[in-house]
Structure 1
Amino acid sequence: MDIASLGAAIGLHPKAAALVLEYDRIEGGGYSAHKASFLRDREAMLASVRQRADYRPFLMYFFVRMAVDAYDEYRLREISDEVYIDTFSDIRIWSEVCKTTFGEYGIEESGWLKEHVRLALFRLGRLQFQPIALDRDLIFGERKFAQGDLVLNVHIPAGGPLDPQEALASFARARAFFRGVPPVFFCHSWLLYPGLDQVLDPSSNIMQFQRLFQIYELDEASRQAEERIFGAKKDDPAAYDANTGLQRRAKAFLEAGGKLGAGLGIIVSQ
């Protein structure tokens, strides 16, 4: 696997792909030092890089290089090329978000992609999964989960409809992929906020996905829904552009005093 092959496989925009190659020509000699720094202390390395004026395009280059390096480990673990390409397609997704938000191809969500390159997160079909240890004790119905118990955290990558049948297929793949990890799925997302029933049809993909989970807690302070629906948070709901049906309904709901937070949900498979 090389930079050009990975860029083509994940559908990186030609301008973004050319930018990565140009950075490799200029920065390639220092890549090993950056990688060593990342492996030694990820947070410190990323904080240091963010001091650069060009940190977004540089981080796109860096994560592409790290993804290329990860390919050999995928092969050693006998993980398919399909999973490899699907997982690192997040580089394309976030580079396009960066272009829309900041006007340049790059990576702003560096804290997120660090999980991909250290093989801590995988995309299996429509959904992404990340083994995590619970940070607290949790009692849910008759089930008790202890702090430190290993579970699967669920993430929903942007792009494409959230078809509930595709989601179910992803859960089935995760149960087979993560052998040794209990098939207990946790998700913290705006998609699980019960108040969405005020702006979405019950038959919508999002509401069908929500019903796969049992919601055990609400995060009323989260404004992730507004970020995802409108692209950015604004203090005054009246300032939101409303070009889609969802945006118009969500804007009207917020202007009327409604609240869109996030939900924490669980699926316990047998």
Structure 2
Amino acid sequence: MMTMELSEQSSSCVSICQLAEAVGMPAEAIGKLRSAWDEGLGTRLNENNAAGLIRELSVGERAESAWRELETLLRAGNDEGWKILAAMLDAGAGPTLAGYRAEGIGEDVFIATMGAFSRFVEESKVRYGSYRFDRAFWTWRQTSLRIFRLGALEYETTKGMETPACILEAGGLTEPVRAVSVHIPSDADLSPAAVDASLSAWHEFAMRHRRQWADASLWCESWLLAPALERLLPPNSRILAFQRRFSIVQVHADAPDWREWIFDCNPSPIAELPEDTALRRTAKRYLLGGGSIGVGVGVLRTARR
């Protein structure tokens, strides 16, 4: 459990770094955050316009536009994302945490959800060879209490036109409805037991904190739902077991997500991609043979509780 003081009124390097440490941010990355602060970021974050935008990162209907405005306000050379990461963590340690506490949502859920920041920074080291933060376009969802991580999976409350038309059509719906988008973090345990536990946790969480979404359809758009994976993975694959939970209602065969998630954003021609894992070897052969992987969009058949 976190014991930090809230920093809703002014930005604090202490609270930013404390949250970074709590979610397992690498020490080198935390050092870069401190360096950005020492170079004048603290003053900039405490200016009225920036401070107001940081507060808005926790407000659902304002969070996305607040992120965009902060990106413009804080942009100064190539700082590899440390300024906007500091702003995001500042929101997390302040108004976002305050929102969790006001709603009675456990700080274990808060830490698990905010863990996305550390996960994205860690992924950048694998992909680019150095720590950086390039996911602010996504993480306003975490700061605005829109995405919650419950065990293996993340759940994003969506509504209206944010839900793909194919999902609505699959349910015979003609009007926009509330729906929940399921996301699969890169470190997710996709064993059947872990997925069952997560789905059960979502049901309990929704009944307590998001009742308007408790009976909403759960849908997912991911390369893990691509039908082509049946040709690349063994029948007892955990990924395929997860995929079979969904009714696939649409496939984007040409989506390039495989390059990011199978080959860590390696830009090399297919013939030069690494073959150091079984999946990479199989996928590379399949792609060289003219196959496509793409992504699938599916509706959860039955949430096991």
Unaligned runs of 5+ in 2: 5-14, 57-61
Partner of 1:190: 223
For residues 214 and 58 of structure 1, the distance between their equivalents in structure 2, rounded to whole angstroms, comes to 41
Partner of 1:64: 89
Unaligned runs of 5+ in 1: none
In the alignment, is residue 226 of structure 1 matched against residue 259 of structure 2? yes
Partner of 1:157: 185
For residues 126 and 135 of structure 2, the distance between their equivalents in structure 1, rounded to whole angstroms, comes to 13
Worse overlay, 246-255 or 65-74 = 65-74
Partner of 2:146: 120
- Aligned to 2:169, the other structure's residue is in SS state strand
Which amino acid in 2 is paired with 1:139? E
Sequence identity (%): 26
- Aligned to 1:214, the other structure's residue is in SS state strand
Partner of 1:139: 169
- Aligned to 1:230, the other structure's residue is in SS state coil
For residues 261 and 99 of structure 1, the distance between their equivalents in structure 2, rounded to whole angstroms, comes to 25
For residues 37 and 125 of structure 2, the distance between their equivalents in structure 1, rounded to whole angstroms, comes to 20
In the alignment, is residue 249 of structure 1 matched against residue 282 of structure 2? yes
**Aligned match of 1:53 in 75, 78, 100?**
78
**Contact kept in structure 1, 2:225 and 2:248, CA below 8 Å:** yes
Distance apart, 1:49 and its partner CA:
3.9
For residues 120 and 174 of structure 2, the distance between their equivalents in structure 1, rounded to whole angstroms, comes to 34
Distance apart, 1:47 and its partner CA:
4.6
In the alignment, is residue 264 of structure 1 matched against residue 297 of structure 2? yes
For residues 90 and 110 of structure 1, the distance between their equivalents in structure 2, rounded to whole angstroms, comes to 11
- Aligned to 2:134, the other structure's residue is in SS state coil
Worse overlay, 161-170 or 252-261 = 161-170
In the alignment, is residue 34 of structure 1 matched against residue 50 of structure 2? yes
**Contact kept in structure 2, 1:116 and 1:122, CA below 8 Å:** yes
For residues 273 and 42 of structure 2, the distance between their equivalents in structure 1, rounded to whole angstroms, comes to 42
What's the TM-score, normalizing by structure 2?
0.81
Partner of 2:17: 4
Distance apart, 1:58 and its partner CA:
1.6
- Aligned to 1:107, the other structure's residue is in SS state coil
**Aligned match of 1:202 in 200, 212, 235?**
235
Aligned length: 268
Partner of 1:13: 26
Distance apart, 1:217 and its partner CA:
0.7
In the alignment, is residue 169 of structure 1 matched against residue 194 of structure 2? no
Worse overlay, 45-54 or 128-137 = 45-54
What's the TM-score, normalizing by structure 1?
0.91
Q: CA 1:20/1:146 → structure 2, altered by over 3 Å: closer, same or farther?
A: farther
**Contact kept in structure 1, 2:50 and 2:73, CA below 8 Å:** no
**Contact kept in structure 1, 2:81 and 2:132, CA below 8 Å:** yes
In the alignment, is residue 148 of structure 1 matched against residue 176 of structure 2? yes
Distance apart, 1:48 and its partner CA:
4.9
